[in-house]
Amino acid sequence: MGAEALRYDSGMPPLIIAHRGDSAHRPENTLASFASAIELGAEFVEFDVQLSRDGHVMVIHDPRVDRTCDGQGAVRELALGDLRRLSAGYAERFGDTYKGERIPTLAEVLALLRGRARAMIEVKPEAVTADAEGGVEALTVAEVRKARMEKDSAIISFSRTALHRCRALGPEIARGHLFHEGAPGDQIAGAREVGSEIVMPHKSLLSPELRDLGREAGIRIATWVVDEPAELQALAYLDLYGVGSNRPGVLLEALSDLEQ
């Protein structure tokens, strides 16, 4: 990656956000994956939350456990004890190497990250219910406060309902609006509506227009998933705030080489 190719108008390269941790090399959304991301030097670690049947905030991407765990069923239909008995070692990808990993709670993940990295917590739309005061948003905000990580966390979501609730319940915690579709103007307007400091469209939606509108609005632009240094280089002209990656170590090394 040549130094001439990577130039940022802000003078700063993007933050490398460990997407579900170091998920190319460890089972996603596990303590092993997050610990690896911290060791690699990721400043932000991104992960997903769902609610268990008995109201525990669990760190898992899918609404069901089937893909990454050795069990079946919807997270919201399983109690904490049921979920704890499952291996989250993602055997389809990693065999038995990480069979001892369990689905962590949000409290456990925040305890691991505190003082080491910042948390980017994605509230999954399927976890959002009619319960505004006792649902996933309220419980997530409560855990962030309990961990005293209000200034070291951001709550992100595709769900505008979730972001409205997080703004009301935890205004001191940064928010980010995720998008997988929509015109640049609509994305910026959506972020403004919920008071989001960050807009996070899929990389296919990035454009100079979105970059310019974000600058005008004072809203930072981040994206996902970028795993190759060459692609990071190709996106340099957009002056992104952050880039989610399954291979945070690879991108951090590329940026380190550039600085040297």
Does residue 71 sit within a domain? yes
pLDDT tens sequence across 124-142: 999 999 999 999 999 999 9
Provide the greatest CA pair distance for the chain. Answer: 54
pLDDT category of residue 257 using cuts at 50, 70 and 90: confident
Pairing of β 57-59 and β 44-51: antiparallel
**Could you give the percent of the chain with pLDDT greater than 70?**
95
Q: At what angle do helices 248-259 and 31-40 cross, to 10 degrees?
A: 10
pLDDT tens sequence across 143-194: 999 999 999 999 999 999 999 999 999 999 999 999 999 999 999 999 999 9
pLDDT tens sequence across 239-249: 999 999 999 99
Assess contact for 200 and 180: CB atoms under 8 A. no
3-class secondary structure, 32: helix
Closest CA to 260 of 13, 17, 9, 36: 13
Does residue 248 sit within a domain? yes
The DSSP bridge partners found for residue 223 are 243
pLDDT at 6: 43
Residues counted in the chain:
260
- Cα separation, 241 vs 260, whole angstroms: 21
Tell me the one-letter amino acid at 153. S
Question: Looking at the predicted structure, is the pLDDT value of residue 7 above 60?
Answer: no
Does residue 145 sit within a domain? yes
Closest CA to 34 of 102, 125, 133: 102
Does residue 7 sit within a domain? no
Q: What is the pTM of this model?
A: 0.95
User: CATH number of the domain that 188 lies in?
Assistant: 3.20.20.190
Assess contact for 166 and 137: CB atoms under 8 A. yes
The range of the structural domain enclosing residue 229 comes to: 15-259
Residues with Cβ within 8 Å of 243's Cβ and at least 6 positions away in sequence, in order, are 14, 15, 16, 17, 222, 223, 224, 226, 232, 235, 251
CA 145 to chain centre: 18
Does residue 2 sit within a domain? no
Question: H or E segment at 241?
Answer: none
Does residue 10 sit within a domain? no
What mean pLDDT, rounded, does the chain reach?
A: 95
Does residue 26 sit within a domain? yes
Does residue 97 sit within a domain? yes
Question: Looking at the predicted structure, is the pLDDT value of residue 3 above 80?
Answer: no
The DSSP bridge partners found for residue 231 are none
The DSSP bridge partners found for residue 50 are 58
Number of structural domains, the chain?
A: 1
3-class secondary structure, 126: helix
- Tokens 């069979």 locate to 99
Q: Which phi and psi (to 5°) does residue 90 adopt?
A: 50, 65
Burial class of 167 by CB neighbour count within 10 A (0 to 12, 13 to 18, 19+): middle
Question: H or E segment at 246?
Answer: none
Q: CA 166, 51, 179, 9 torsion: positive or negative?
A: positive
Tell me the one-letter amino acid at 228. E
